[in-house]
Amino acid sequence: MRTCASVLGAIAVMSLVAACGADAEPSTSFESVAISDASALTDLSGDAQGGDAPAAEDDVGRGAEDTALALDGLSPELLPAEDVADAQTSAPWEPPAGWGEPVEAASDAWTWVEVEGTHCGDGSQTGFAINPHEGATTLFLYLEGGGGCWNYLTCDGLVQTSFHLGGYDASTFNGLIAEAYKDMWFFDRESDTNPLADAHYVFIPYCTGDAHAGDAVRELQGLLPWNNGTFYFKGRSNLEADLAHIVPTFSDVERVVLSGASAGGFGAGLNWPLVGAAFGPEVRVDLIDDSGPPLEPSSGIWEDWYETWNIELPQGCIGCEDDVSAVVDFLRSDMLQHGKMALLSNARDAIISAFFQLSPFVFEERLFSVLDVLDEEPNAHYFVVDGAGHTMTIFGTEGYEASDGAKLTDWLIDFLADAPDLKSHRP
């Protein structure tokens, strides 16, 4: 029943996209502000990472330059695993000069923030949403999921395999798709069980088709001469521009919980080092990756994604452009030394299996191989259920149970509370 619920949930989201699109009428009101000082952030950037593609401003016509944060050298020192709950360093840290001003927003309400210099797949500007909570010391930073695309067929074919490529703005955030996310357990301030009910919230939309990892502008060509178009794979650079305002807004937090589901889960994992560096060494950053397991896809796919999206991998991630397992090794040697991770997945996830062009059973085999590696790390934990469903935190989080009867919500509460001897679960 749980597998059916997950699959039906995913189908329901896709149906909402088809029915509503990006122009759905708002169902509730919320605040909206614009960040228009992106030009001040360009001092932090090096050359654009878009390969030989044209600069984004040439096609968008906004006159805004791409932004990229200069975060080299800001990675926290490695700490013993047993000290993760109290990770601190005496080294002074200051955000790079030129970061944006804090966003003014009402407490316990969603505010949409438009950020100049960001791009959706069609080149249009986007932003992020915040929901502050007075007195909070934890920030829940969530990356939206929604498929992926890397060629003309998947980005603009008869069936697009990624959401919101045509734009994401304030009206989109107030539409039906976003409402499903805002109703998540982690965003429910009225829940007696939600361990993040009193946290600050940030929602990063997904409209670039690149798992929040790209920084490129590509001319994609289909089978026929007129099947072509310009696509902006700017998920990574969007996040960098967003962080230039998110960090100053929540500069007093002690902990960040970085999370995402599906493509958002992949993006959260790939950008874990970026977020950690942005907040500095005195802020602990933990990861909850829902259904974005770091597995090796079918031969050639990772290389296609890496080239098309121009994935910006963490500095020092040796061999990561060729092998996903190298990414896992890097996270083990870096982020897992001063933060914790929780990986959530179905054992034979039908959606990710299809994207990776793997049979569900090969997916399960590769997933369990990754779990074996994570078993060697005291700060790495996982909750894997039997089945072929997809995502566990968007719909029905309180209904998931492991094969031994452990409840997902209880497990997540313990994870976030740094419960000692937290047990991982797999079928």
Inform me whether the pLDDT recorded for 369 exceeds 90.
yes
Q: List phi, psi (to 5°) of 418.
A: 60, 40
Q: List phi, psi (to 5°) of 343.
A: -105, 125
Residue 98: which residues within 8 A CB-CB, separation 6 or more?
40, 41, 43, 44, 244
Alpha helices in 226-323 (DSSP H): 235-249, 263-270, 272-279, 301-309
Q: Please write the tens of the pLDDT for every residue from 147-156.
A: 999 999 999 9
Compute the average pLDDT of residues 373-398. Answer: 97
Q: Rounded to an integer, what is the distance from CA 416 to the centroid of its chain?
A: 18
The chain-wide mean pLDDT, for the chain, equals: 83
Inform me whether the pLDDT recorded for 91 exceeds 50.
no
Residue 413: which residues within 8 A CB-CB, separation 6 or more?
193, 195
- Judge whether 328 and 270 are in contact, CB under 8 Å: no
Picking from 293, 400, 299, the residue whose alpha carbon sits closest to that of residue 348 is 293
CATH 3.40.50 for domain 2-36+110-416, yes or no, is: yes
Would you place residue 96 in the very low, low, confident or very high pLDDT band (cuts 50, 70, 90)? low
Q: Please write the tens of the pLDDT for every residue from 291-303.
A: 999 999 998 899 9
Inform me whether the pLDDT recorded for 77 exceeds 70.
no
Compute the average pLDDT of residues 263-290. Answer: 97
Q: Rounded to an integer, what is the distance from CA 421 to the centroid of its chain?
A: 27
Would you place residue 157 in the very low, low, confident or very high pLDDT band (cuts 50, 70, 90)? confident
Inform me whether the pLDDT recorded for 160 exceeds 90.
no
- Judge whether 364 and 387 are in contact, CB under 8 Å: no
Percent of the chain with pLDDT over 90: 70
**Which of 3-12, 28-37, 178-187, 408-417 bottoms out in mean pLDDT, i.e. has the lowest?**
3-12
**Between 315 and 368, residue with greater pLDDT:** 368
pLDDT for res 93: 57
Inform me whether the pLDDT recorded for 342 exceeds 70.
yes
